[in-house]
A and B are shown apart, each in its own frame.
Chain A
Amino acid sequence: MTRRIDLRRVAQYGVVVVVAVTLNFLLPRLMPGNPLALIAGVDVGMLTPDQRAEIVARVGLDAPMWQQYLRYWGDIFTGDFGFSFRSSRPIVDMILERLPWTLLITGLSLLVSAVVGVLLGAISAWRRGTKGDLSMLSGMISIESLPSFWLGMVLVSLFAVQWGLLPSFGAVTPASDLEGWAHVWDIISHAILPVTALSIVGTPGVYMTMRYSMLETLGEDYIRTARAKGAGERRVLFGHVARNTIAPVITVLAIRLGFAFGGTVIIETVFSYPGLGRLVFEAVAGRDYPVMQAAFLVFTAAILVANLAADLLYPLIDPRSRTS
């Protein structure tokens, strides 16, 4: 029963971390283009060569690659990522400002997707082959095929522009001085459309995993035996099936939680939502190396931790893998 944490597994993750961090360092620098325009501002063309050199030296881009690389590792351990080329603000602040917004919409939609997907997936599997299963299944496959940006724009068109029911952009009403519940409601009303869009496109994945996993379980001999023995459906469902089904679903959700930190460039763009995805998209477009490096690191770390957690959790949750 007691299971040691698999040290080799953890070590393998360590290697992945090093590779990923190295790639995070290299990717921005491999991209063609010059961050000078961002650092120096609008009229970069009017700089003298001396001024250029001075700026490049100040942000450390004149150092040899290996020095920059070492410095990046140093930054990772000190947690100080310096200043953005573009906005000249401390990067840690920039990320911390946006992270809560991103987590708000990705987290809420993950929750919705999880609950709806697990419930519908279970019902669908339990009633497999019926009209209900067929319509749910085809409905979910259709939803999975929706382009998310298109869905978002149609939602804005209808709910915000045509009917005026919900705000069309942002996370809060700017400069509204709302307080207390009015402020909470303001945040919720801004989150409704993005969360809806994200939940819709996120549900089918959970539903499918749940349905598959449950069908597998239902196919196991002991369940068939239990059913054949005439055990009550409810007892079979909750007693035997649920605990054997949930492990793969938890894995999927854990990994999604990791990705949630990265935000969603597309949905954040469509709704002008101030999340991490947009920050990174703009940083990439403008070759804002420090912001890119730091943000990629956050993403990578979140995804890795989620994967590791899923890996380590799996044997604890899934009784089958333990017995073997």
Chain B
Amino acid sequence: MTATGGEDRAIRRAVRRRSRLPTILGVAGLVIVGALVVTAVFAPWLAPYDPTERIARPFLFPSAEHPLGTNDVGHDLLSEIIFGSRVSLMVGLVAATVALLIGTTVGVIAGYYPKRLGSTLMRGVDVILILPFLPLLIVLAAYLGRSLLNTILVIGLLIWAEPARIIRSQVLSLRSREYVLAARSMGAPDRWTIIRHIVPRTALLATGSFVRAVSGAILLEAALSFLGLGDPIQKSWGSTLYWAQTRGAFLTPAWKWWVLPPGILIMLASLGFALIAFSLEERINPRL
């Protein structure tokens, strides 16, 4: 390369900026997620009331005692939203874990044995990706009944295909690296190669897709609840919005304190994880 000194400086500057950008966004994401996790953990101390207790008249406007008013049966909305962070975060985290476990397994196997087994598995992934999402959901929900666990399972079972694809392509490229080829040529068993050489090197990528999956799962939980396919009795942000919707809060002044806060929190939670995921992905892919 025949770069001049000036261009050299410019490139170095660009590289510095480049590495700062993911950091800024990642820190922002960590702050948001951290704040929400603290809220969820300390909910019983932070919330002024028990969110399942009818402590006042229904449909109260905000007041000193009830900063966000009360819902349609007289539960304190602020407490409901504080406790809602527990369910929403848990659904996001656990569903993403389920998705990651399935996704990594399928992705690694499909990537390591790309011929027959791999392509069969990827056809399975294709089927999952094109199946009608909604009925699958209702079939599962109807079989299992509406509960938190089932919401988690349903979401987890529906979002593993994307991580599987990502990890497979990583494994495909790892497979042709020198150390893997070396290990294989020395007759190392596949299982050993996979565990020793492949899985550790997909860990970062997997973390990235895990965090992204959390972000998606939080949104899915809210959408399911909104369609009335979740468990409306569980206090999550999605179910708070479901009740706001069925009891007409969108059309009354109540939308400012009943609809905006849970919606914004869903967005923040999803955003927090998405930012972290973005920052991780920027780091993982050296070419960017």
- A-side contacts of B259, CB under 8 Å: 150, 153-154, 157
- A-side contacts of B24, CB under 8 Å: 134
Known contacts A141-B278, A153-B245, A16 near B123 by CB under 8 Å: yes
Are B134 and A32 in contact, with the CB atoms below 8 A? no
Interface residues of B in 122-148 (CB under 8 A from A): 123, 126-127, 129-132, 134-136, 138-139, 142-143
Q: How many residues does chain A have at the interface if contact means C-beta atoms less than 8 Å apart?
A: 56
- B-side contacts of A129, CB under 8 Å: 14, 17-18, 20-21
- B-side contacts of A78, CB under 8 Å: none
Kindly state the separation between the CA atoms of A215 and B278 in the bound complex, as whole angstroms: 14
A147 partner, pick from B134, B266, B275, beta carbons under 8 A: B266
Which one of B71-79, B183-191, B218-226 contacts A?
B218-226
Most B C-beta atoms less than 10 A away, residue of A15, A32, A129, A212: A129
Are B130 and A307 in contact, with the CB atoms below 8 A? yes
Lowest 10 A-B CB distances belong to which pairs?
A: A129-B17, A145-B270, A145-B271, A150-B263, A303-B130, A219-B287, A296-B132, A149-B226, A145-B267, A147-B222
- The SS class assigned to the A binding surface is helix
Are B135 and A27 in contact, with the CB atoms below 8 A? yes
Interface residues of B in 7-27 (CB under 8 A from A): 7, 14, 17-18, 20-21, 24-25
- B-side contacts of A197, CB under 8 Å: none
Kindly state the separation between the CA atoms of A137 and B2 in the bound complex, as whole angstroms: 33
A-B interface pairs (CB < 8 A), number: 142
- B-side contacts of A145, CB under 8 Å: 215, 219, 266-271, 274
Which one of A183-191, A239-247, A262-270 contacts B?
A262-270
Interface residues of B in 207-260 (CB under 8 A from A): 215, 219, 222-223, 226-227, 241, 245, 250-251, 255, 259-260
Are B227 and A269 in contact, with the CB atoms below 8 A? yes
Kindly state the separation between the CA atoms of A156 and B259 in the bound complex, as whole angstroms: 13
Q: Is B288 an interface residue (CB 8 A)?
A: yes
- B-side contacts of A269, CB under 8 Å: 227
- B-side contacts of A300, CB under 8 Å: 130-132
5 contacts across the A-B interface (CB closer than 8 A): A30-B143, A128-B18, A129-B14, A141-B274, A156-B250
- A-side contacts of B3, CB under 8 Å: 228
Q: Is B119 an interface residue (CB 8 A)?
A: yes
Kindly state the separation between the CA atoms of A303 and B127 in the bound complex, as whole angstroms: 10
Known contacts A145-B274, A216-B288, A228-B2, A31 near B139 by CB under 8 Å: yes
Q: How far is the CB of B272 from chain A (nearest CB, A)?
A: 8
Kindly state the separation between the CA atoms of A167 and B100 in the bound complex, as whole angstroms: 43
Known contacts A145-B267, A145-B270, A147-B263, A12 near B130 by CB under 8 Å: no
Q: Is B1 an interface residue (CB 8 A)?
A: yes
Known contacts A32-B143, A281-B134, A296-B132, A134 near B21 by CB under 8 Å: yes
Kindly state the separation between the CA atoms of A138 and B274 in the bound complex, as whole angstroms: 10
- B-side contacts of A105, CB under 8 Å: none
Q: Is A203 an interface residue (CB 8 A)?
A: no
Are A20 and B21 in contact, with the CB atoms below 8 A? no
A28 partner, pick from B135, B219, B223, beta carbons under 8 A: B135
Closest chain B residue to A29, Cβ basis: B139
- B-side contacts of A225, CB under 8 Å: 1
Q: How far is the CB of A49 from chain B (nearest CB, A)?
A: 26
Q: Is A309 an interface residue (CB 8 A)?
A: no
Are B119 and A141 in contact, with the CB atoms below 8 A? no
Known contacts A27-B136, A299-B132, A12 near B123 by CB under 8 Å: yes
Known contacts A129-B20, A284-B134, A266 near B119 by CB under 8 Å: no
Kindly state the separation between the CA atoms of A28 and B139 in the bound complex, as whole angstroms: 8
Most A C-beta atoms less than 10 A away, residue of B126, B143, B268: B126
B223 partner, pick from A27, A31, A148, A307, beta carbons under 8 A: A148
